[in-house]
Amino acid sequence: MSITGIIFAAAIVGGTGLFIGVFLGFAGKKFAVEVDEREEAILSVLPGNNCGGCGYAGCSGLASAIVKGEAQVNACPVGGSPVASQIGEIMGQKAGEQIRKTAFVKCAGVCGKAKTEYDYTGLQDCVMISMMQNGGAKTCTYGCLGGGSCVKACPFDAIHIADGIAVVDKKACKACGKCVEACPRKLIELVPYEQEHLVKCNSHDKGRDVTAACSVGCIGCKMCQKVCESDAVTIEGNVAYIDFEKCTGCGKCAEKCPRKIIL
């Protein structure tokens, strides 16, 4: 190939590149979507975990929703009050009081406490295990399956399987709710971080059946309800329930519980 041909080819390639560059620059300005400065400011304040705990597709989705008025300034469960306060300043709103929460597993059926019908050696996944005979190896059909679906779902490494059941690390938990969604038995709920007394059981079976399946399950005896002076404890569906707003933390329910299932 001659020198003239090489120069001509280089000129064509360079000219094409220049044209594309100019065209893209023009198109970028012509069709640019204006972004509200508040949205960018909010995004810089959010944790950036993109966990989806707020109900939106990542932090950018929440920032956009807040600016549009579709979400509250305290909608980020991970950031908590500090982040809510900063977003409130950006939006010119009061963030309001935000109670810190943590995930809580309503099951104490560890190995040796909860009885099993057979040995399961398949895939460690709670959804898969729940599809096995009798809904899993454990006699209690309400207890933790121990397959670790919640562990896989947690983006903060705040929940692990210990002695056959899921256990939450309160300090690491950000209350994003991913584990709540992942649990096929709906054993996990978000509770106030400072709550001192919680019922670690979710069985709705009658006392006799609970006793046959687990040595620590709630039998619905109502002894906790009778000693509660603030009417915070009730029996619902054969299992004790504590109203956190009424609970004073006196601890009488925990002391009276014959199964020691109230923490």
pLDDT of residue 139: 94
pLDDT per position as a tens digit, 208-231: 999 999 999 999 999 999 999 999
Q: Which of 137, 136, 142, 138 is nearest to 113 (CA)?
A: 138
pLDDT of residue 80: 84
Residue 247, pLDDT above cutoff 90 = yes
Lowest mean pLDDT among 47-56, 120-129, 194-203: 47-56
* Domain boundaries 38-91, CATH class: mainly alpha
pLDDT per position as a tens digit, 67-85: 888 888 888 888 888 888 8
pLDDT of residue 13: 66
Work out whether the CA dihedral 33, 34, 37, 42 comes out positive or negative: negative
Q: What pLDDT band is residue 255 in, cutting at 50, 70 and 90?
A: very high
pLDDT of residue 56: 86
pLDDT per position as a tens digit, 89-98: 888 888 777 7
DSSP state at residue 111: B
pLDDT per position as a tens digit, 35-70: 678 888 888 888 888 888 888 888 888 888 888 888
Q: What pLDDT band is residue 28 in, cutting at 50, 70 and 90?
A: low
The answer, as to whether pTM is greater than 0.95, is no
* Mean pLDDT, rounded, of the chain: 88
Listed by start position, the domains of the chain span: 38-91, 99-193, 195-263
CATH code given to domain 99-193: 3.30.70.20
* Domain boundaries 195-263, CATH class: alpha beta
Residue 43 and residue 46: Cα distance in Å, rounded? 5
pLDDT of residue 145: 95
Residue 174 and residue 187: Cα distance in Å, rounded? 18
Work out whether the CA dihedral 44, 46, 52, 55 comes out positive or negative: negative
Token digits of residue 58 = 């990542």
Q: Is 195-263 the same fold as 38-91?
A: no
